[in-house]
A and B are shown apart, each in its own frame.
Chain A
Amino acid sequence: MGQIETHRLRTRAAFGDTWLAILLLVPLIVTIFGVIGLPFVNAILQSFTDKRVGLPGHFVGLLNYRELVRDPAFWIAVRNSAAYAVVAVALKLIAGFVMALVLDKPLPGRPLWRALILLPWAIPALVAALTWRWMYSDTNGVINSILIRLGLINHPIPWLAALSIALISVIMVNVWKGVPFFTFTLLGGLQSIDRQLYEAAAIDGATGWQQTRHVTIPGILPVTLTATLLSLIWTFNDFQTVFVLTGGGPGHATTIVATLTYEYAFWNLELGKAVAVSVAVAPVFIIGILALSQLISNGD
């Protein structure tokens, strides 16, 4: 195909196609603006009202926000969400990195090991949470019974009911479910590294650790950064694990922002205040999300 012909074709396509392009994009735009944008704008407006479930709201200005900053539960939820996200993501990243290195090695039976290590990712999050709730149980839970039988403890530990350990118990479930995401993302990163770089490093006399430090880690840094940011956003908002395991309890020991929103909306029936929670934490996410989408778009 000649250059000029190609150019003419592209120009023709560009003019004739604008309307078709718009037509093809209408459903997407309706989805984004109609079903996500509008409700969100509506929600911001609702957060200035005293709307309750089933009743119309009246404008109350910043009352919901004033109540929110005075509510200790809100600050506990923010702190728990941050701790939950940071600790869980750090553990997932470390475990995922180790497992990626292990599964990158030419072990006998590797396809089988990979398939098995992936399993928690394929299990629905709700099923994972229910299974762990049963394993954590202080009446006949298998974790306590193993620990007792090994002689490590005398009495069952109330994993999900003790104020001091409930949050970490919940975090472990998120970690169990989330390690495969890091393992396989980082494994993809490892496999995209040019093998010749290792050979060159070896010829230059680099030891195993030096190769890891100067070839492996820089090679997987971009994918690691993306995976970590993605996981931070999703882990911060991991509603169902917390909801199913503890419902935010005991007290507010495991309450995160997402479960507090639910609590205000469906237990206290204060929709206005519930929406105010989402709106209050939204700026952090919007900044994080824009940074991340920039990062990912540039990576293409």
Chain B
Amino acid sequence: MVGYNKVVTWGFLGIALVITLFPIYWMLATSLTPYSAMFNPVPTLIPPSVSVEHYVDLFRNTPFLTFTKNSLIVSTASMLLSVFISTLAAYAITRMRLRGRHALATLVMATYLLPQSMLFIPMYILVSSLKLANTLLGLILTYPTFLVPYGTWMLMSYFKTIPREIEEAALIDGCSRWETLWRIIAPLAAPGISVVAIFSFTLAWDEFLYALVVTTSPSVQTLPVGIAGFIVGDIFLWGRIMSASVLTAMPMVLLYTVVQRWVVYGMTAGSVKG
């Protein structure tokens, strides 16, 4: 019985690993397959030879670096802005007496759950009327609409785990609320804030729909929209697309390998999008 269970367990794990890892392997393998071998009548599971020509093509012939720079700017700026707003709001909701804070908490949750696909046309109309269409600023101001509700929700549950007594002791010692927030609570909440910062950065890095409708020229496009633009008509430069995919996914994969424990915490605590 024990032996049988073991076989079943390893069997499931084996199948799951193959299904999970094969697409990732194939993306990597394609990106390293020389152009001449891309359209062999019978593709081989292992590239006949390894070449970096797709990567060279990516940097020489496409605005890949511009997309990367735009993604970095937009993700960092919207992350910083959102984490700041979320920290203030979560502190006020969980720690200060205020009528209607429970209603506000529910509203934050509801806003976070509101799907982007329902908001993208209103958002497009708003950004256009502010003359921010096709600008990085337009994206930086758009992303907090989903990052702030998410971050506030996550940090609310984190702040609740910090004992009130610590704060009360500081208040008795004559610290103001403001000082207490930045000197006592923020350092104690640093792990939670870091998790929120990482996830916010990722959500912004992966974001596709708003970037698709807000930006139109390559000079302001982010990685997801820029790479999707490599598909033109019926011409598929799969080597180019896969090498760009590898480079876009790599930072995220490395980040999550390093902070895996937090990822699992974040998923269970605040339910990160899946």
Residues of chain A at the chain B interface (Cβ within 8 Å)? 1, 5-6, 9-10, 13-14, 16-18, 20-22, 24-25, 27-28, 31-32, 35-36, 38-40, 42-43, 46, 95, 98-99, 102-103, 105, 107, 113-128, 130-132, 134-135, 137, 139-140, 142, 145-146, 149, 176, 178-182, 184-185, 187-189, 223, 226-227, 230-231, 233-234, 236-237, 239-240, 243-244, 257-258, 261-262, 265-266, 271, 274-275, 278, 281-282, 285-286, 289-290, 292-294, 296-297, 300
The answer to the question of B36 belonging to the interface, with a C-beta cut-off of 8 Å to chain A, is no
The answer to the question of B219 belonging to the interface, with a C-beta cut-off of 8 Å to chain A, is no
Which residue of chain B has its CB nearest to the CB of A121?
Answer: B274
Indicate whether A271 sits within 8 Å of B121 (C-beta atoms), given known contacts A18-B97, A36-B114, A181-B274: yes
Partner of B248, one of A13, A107, A127, A142: A127
Chain A interface, >50% SS class: helix
Q: Considering the chains assembled together, what is the distance between the CA atoms of A294 and B172 in angstroms?
A: 36
Residues of chain B at the chain A interface (Cβ within 8 Å)? 9-10, 12-13, 16-17, 19-21, 23-24, 26-27, 30, 38-40, 42-43, 45, 84-86, 88-89, 91-93, 96-98, 102, 104-111, 113-126, 141-142, 144-145, 148-149, 152, 157, 160, 165, 168-169, 171-172, 177-178, 205-206, 208-209, 212-213, 223-224, 227-228, 231, 236, 238, 241-242, 245, 248-249, 252-253, 255-257, 260, 263-264, 267-268, 271-274
Indicate whether A25 sits within 8 Å of B208 (C-beta atoms), given known contacts A184-B267, A285-B114: no
Most buried by A among B93, B168, B267: B267
Question: In the bound complex, do residue A265 and residue B117 qualify as a contact, i.e. CB atoms below 8 Å apart?
Answer: no
Partner of B121, one of A14, A137, A149, A261: A261
Chain B interface, >50% SS class: helix
Q: Considering the chains assembled together, what is the distance between the CA atoms of A77 and B144 in angstroms?
A: 29
- In the assembled complex, how far is the CB of residue A202 from the closest CB belonging to chain B, in whole angstroms? 14
Partner of B119, one of A24, A40, A120, A130: A40
Question: In the bound complex, do residue A118 and residue B274 qualify as a contact, i.e. CB atoms below 8 Å apart?
Answer: no
Q: Considering the chains assembled together, what is the distance between the CA atoms of A223 and B42 in angstroms?
A: 46
